Structure 1
Amino acid sequence: MLTAVLMLAHPLVPNWAGNAGSLLETFLPWTGLLVVLLLVAALVRRSALALVAVLLPALVWGADFGGRLFDKRATGGDFTLVSHNVNDENPDPAGTARALAASGAQVIALEELKKSEVPKYEDALAAAYPHHEVQGTVGVWSVFPLRDTRPVEIMPWTRAMQTTVDTPKGPVAVFVAHLPSVRVRLDAGFTAGGRDDSIGLLADALRASPAPRTVLAGDFNGTADDRALGPITARLQAAQDVAGDGFGFSWPASLPLARIDQIFVSGVRPVASWTLPATGSDHLPVAATVAL
Structure 2
Amino acid sequence: MVQAYKAETGSGGPGDLGEPAPRPGGRFRRLRTVGPFRPWRDGGLWRRGIVIAVLAVGVALFTALHARVPNRIGNLGSLSETFLPWLPALAVPLLLAALWRRSATALLALLLPVVVWLNLFGGLLTDKSGSGGDITVASHNVNAQNPDPEGTARDLAESGADVLALQELAQSQVAAYRTGLRSAYKYHTVQGTVGLWSKYPLKKSAPVDIRMGWTRALRSTVATPRGDIAVYVAHMPSVRVKMHAGFTANERDKSADALGEAIALEDVGKVVLLGDLNGTMNDRALRAVTSQMRSTQGAAGHGFGFSWPASFPMARIDQILVKGLEPVASWTLPRTASDHLPIAASIELD
TM-score bucket (shorter structure): over 0.9
Q: Does 1:132 align with 2:188?
A: yes
1:246-265 correspondence runs (5 A): 246-265=303-322
Q: Deviations over 1:148-201 (max 9, x none)?
A: 111000121000000011111111110000011111111111110110110111
Give 2:277's aligned residue: 220
State which of 124, 132, 157 in structure 2 corresponds to 1:68.
124
Matched residue type, 2:223: D
**Structure number, greater radius of gyration:** 2
Contact 2:242/2:248, CA 8 A, preserved across alignment: yes
Q: Could you tell me which runs of 5 or more consecutive residues in structure 1 were left unpaired when the two chains were aligned.
A: none
Give 2:172's aligned residue: 116
Between the two proteins, the alignment pairs up a number of residues equal to 292
Matched residue type, 1:263: I
Give 1:241's aligned residue: 298
* TM-score, normalisation: structure 1: 0.97
State which of 324, 328, 336 in structure 2 corresponds to 1:271.
328
State which of 133, 143, 148 in structure 2 corresponds to 1:77.
133
Q: How far apart in 1 are the matches of 2:203 and 2:323?
A: 20
Q: How far apart in 1 are the matches of 2:128 and 2:156?
A: 23
State which of 188, 210, 221 in structure 1 corresponds to 2:245.
188
State which of 50, 53, 62 in structure 2 corresponds to 1:6.
62
Contact 2:63/2:88, CA 8 A, preserved across alignment: no
Q: Specify the SS of the correspondent of 2:110.
A: helix
State which of 241, 256, 278 in structure 2 corresponds to 1:199.
256
Q: How far apart in 2 are the matches of 1:261 and 1:213?
A: 20
Alignment RMSD, CA only? 1.1
- Name whichever of 237-246 and 40-49 sits farther off: 40-49
Contact 1:112/1:178, CA 8 A, preserved across alignment: yes
Identify the structure with bigger relative contact order (alpha carbons < 8 Å, sequence gap 6+): 1
Q: How far apart in 1 are the matches of 2:161 and 2:343?
A: 11
Question: Which of the two has greater strand per residue?
Answer: 1
Contact 1:35/1:58, CA 8 A, preserved across alignment: no
Percent pairwise identity: 58
Contact 2:59/2:88, CA 8 A, preserved across alignment: no
Matched residue type, 1:51: L
Structure 1 residue 247, shift from structure 2 partner: 0.9
Structure 1 residue 281, shift from structure 2 partner: 0.7
Matched residue type, 1:288: A
Structure 1 residue 128, shift from structure 2 partner: 1.2
Q: How far apart in 1 are the matches of 2:198 and 2:81?
A: 34
Give 2:289's aligned residue: 232
Q: Deviations over 1:20-43 (max 9, x none)?
A: 111111100001212333333333
Give 1:54's aligned residue: 110
Contact 2:60/2:88, CA 8 A, preserved across alignment: no
